[in-house]
Amino acid sequence: MDAKLVTIGGLRTAFVPCEAESVAVGLFVASGSRHEPAKLAGISHLIEHMLFKGTPTRPALDITRAIEGRGGNFNAWTSEDSTCYYAHLPCEYLDEAVDILADMYLNAALAPDEFAREREVVLEEIKMYEDDPGSVAAENLQSALFPLNPLGRPVAGSGATLSTFTPETLRAYIASHYTAATTVLVIAGRFVEEDATNLVRRAFQSIRTRRARKLSFKKIDWDCPPVAEVSATKDVKQTQLALGYRTFGVEDPRRYAATVMDAILGRGMSSRLFQEVREKRGLSYDISSRMQFFQDVGLFTITAGLDPRQAGATLATVDRELRRLIEKKVGAAELKRTKEFLVGNFRLSHERVTSKMFYHGAMLLSRGRLVDPEEEIDGVRAVTAEEVQAVAREIFTPGNRSLSRVDPK
């Protein structure tokens, strides 16, 4: 692994050199929706939006023009565990990307007029999610799996909470959550390390003035069972199903077997669920699964959109496939094929500098260290059929399951 972790002016910085004509810069903050108290639900996501709305020396339009004018891409996202701001552009403009990201992070203007407009934008974004049956099913599922926990709340918050925020609310939250202790910077692509070091030191020199603090979040109460089923209706023609189970955290060694299990069940057109539900029975146009890992818990979901009359048959087919994994070990050929799929997919994604940047940022936040990609590959390759069966037996239990559905009115 060529990646290198250094501390520059108090800021943990990862350099990931590789042959490329571009460079990706990511600023990762270990502050997401699960770190928020209930009364501030959605503040991390609103802050993410507001950091693009200008600084005392850069109007909002200048920020986006500076990157897009170089042919680059500039964006951000907020999740349950973190917030990320990133730029991808030709390597000769690394200095501009670092300077702009630092300015946004350290000097957000949070002007009242921009704040009022952007809050309305986020409220429209929330309405967009509420109009999408797939998003409604997914959000309701997470609320059912993690009742009484911030993981069960929508990342974007709600109109009720957003209406109470002011620019000063955001300013105070940034001061306590956007510090050197919670932030990592990742630079991946073609660059000169000495030059990049000087860029980071100069751009982030004032980060030391922010009081460092370690953020905490409410741990999952495993004695609080998931809600078995939640349902909603919308003016749609299809039923959206989302079936979910709580799994393991990102540091749990069982995550490798769980990842292989996920791929066997619902990753791609050759997966068991796709073959059984769509190809053999024609019950759904698409069905897939997904495994997510948070700090202390994971989330396994199966989603499908289908004719309401086929919901019962689809759920019965899914249950048969889950029981099949529990009762019978995966065959050697299928296990080998699944591992090759995962390893190949991982290697192909890491040909992109943005993927390298996202990977190392996620590892630094979640595991506190650089993780050689080969370590993850070795973990997948070492999984046995017995381990896949064991995690299936641990995960697929009646008391660990929630079903969310959105049906036509």
Q: Name the band, by pLDDT with cuts 50, 70 and 90, for residue 110.
A: very high
Four-CA torsion 20, 81, 126, 59, nearest 10 degrees: -50
Band (214; pLDDT cuts 50, 70, 90): confident
Residue that has been written with the tokens 């769509």 in this structure: 278
**According to the model, what pLDDT value does residue 211 have?**
73
Q: What is the pLDDT of residues 38-95, one digit of tens each?
A: 999 999 999 999 999 999 999 999 998 999 999 999 999 999 999 999 999 999 999 9
Q: What is d(CA 290, CA 353) in angstroms, rounded to the nearest whole number?
A: 24
For the structural domain made of 4-209, what CATH number should be given?
3.30.830.10
SS3 26: strand
pLDDT of residue 216: 81
% residues pLDDT > 90 (the chain): 93
Please report the pLDDT score of residue 175 as a whole number. 93
> What is the residue extent of each domain of the chain?
4-209, 229-408
| β-strand partners of 378 | none
Residue found under tokens 């630079």: 187
Average pLDDT over residues 170-199: 96
Dihedral angle sign, alpha carbons of residues 149, 153, 156, 161: negative
- Decide if 4-209 and 229-408 have a common fold: yes
Estimate the crossing angle of helix 332-349 against helix 373-381, to 10 degrees: 170
Average pLDDT over residues 366-387: 96
At residue 359, the 3 state secondary structure works out as helix
Task: For residue 77, count CB atoms less than 10 angstroms from its CB and return exposed for 0-12, middle for 13-18, buried for 19 or more.
Answer: middle
- pLDDT band of residue 397 (cuts 50, 70, 90) is very high
**Cα-Cα-Cα-Cα dihedral sign, residues 118, 119, 123, 129:** positive
Q: What is the DSSP string of 272-292?
A: HHIIIIIIIT--EEEEEEEEE
pTM to 2 decimals? 0.94
For the stretch 271-301, pLDDT in tens is 999 999 999 999 999 999 999 999 899 999 9
Active-site pick, 19, 36, 48, 194? 48
Q: Which of 186, 127, 188 is nearest to 159 (CA)?
A: 127
Which candidate, 108, 92, 96, 91, places its Cα nearest to that of 29?
108
258 or 208: which leads in pLDDT = 258
What would be the CATH architecture of the domain defined by 229-408? 2-Layer Sandwich (3.30)
How would residue 223 be classed by pLDDT, with cut points 50, 70 and 90? confident
Active-site residue, 48 included: yes
Query: What's the CA gap between 245 and 320, in Å, rounded?
Result: 16
